[in-house]
Amino acid sequence: MKKILIIEDDPLIVKIYSTRLKADGYNVISAENGEEGIKVAEEQNPDVVVLDVMMPRVDGFAVLERLRKNEKLHRVPILIYSNLSNEEEIERAKKLDVTEFLVKANLSPTQMVAKIKQYADTGQSNP
């Protein structure tokens, strides 16, 4: 069973994606802030990470950077899912080797779940 980690401080978003992904047979774990997300990722070795940017304690960029430096996790697909959509933020994420930067306003929950499943099912990761 593929394991998906959602690092997001909005419990409603976590519930929406967790419910849909679990119904399709995925193991979903979550963390409500960046600090907890790093710990959970290092302990659980997820197949895909869905990451918000604006979170308490440690922001999504710092989480992304930390996971990319981790020997076990550096190839795991990491999808940033954020309300931030300016070029500066997107470029910053690309420099930190994000797999894909997705803007919340541009995707429905159904489209986002399909994106997560695509990465989980294909095993696509960064080179």
Q: Could you report the per-residue pLDDT of 34-60, keeping only the tens digit for each?
A: 999 999 999 999 999 999 999 888 999
Taking Cα atoms as reference points, which of 94, 41, 37 lies closest to residue 60? 37
64 within domain boundaries: yes
The answer on pLDDT for 10 being more than 70 is yes
127 within domain boundaries: no
21 within domain boundaries: yes
- For residues 58-82, give the mean pLDDT: 95
| Domain count for the chain | 1
pLDDT confidence of residue 49: 98
pLDDT confidence of residue 85: 80
CATH number of the domain encompassing residue 110 = 3.40.50.2300
Angle between helices 87-95 and 60-69 (to 10 degrees): 20
11 within domain boundaries: yes
Lowest-pLDDT range of 49-58, 83-92, 105-114: 83-92
96 within domain boundaries: yes
Cβ partners under 8 Å of residue 28, min gap 6: 3, 4, 5, 6, 17, 18, 21, 22
pLDDT band with cut points at 50, 70 and 90 for residue 126: very low
Element (H, E) at 22: helix 11-23
Q: What range defines the domain where residue 59 resides?
A: 3-122
pTM (2 d.p.): 0.93
The residue among 124 and 76 whose pLDDT is bigger is: 76
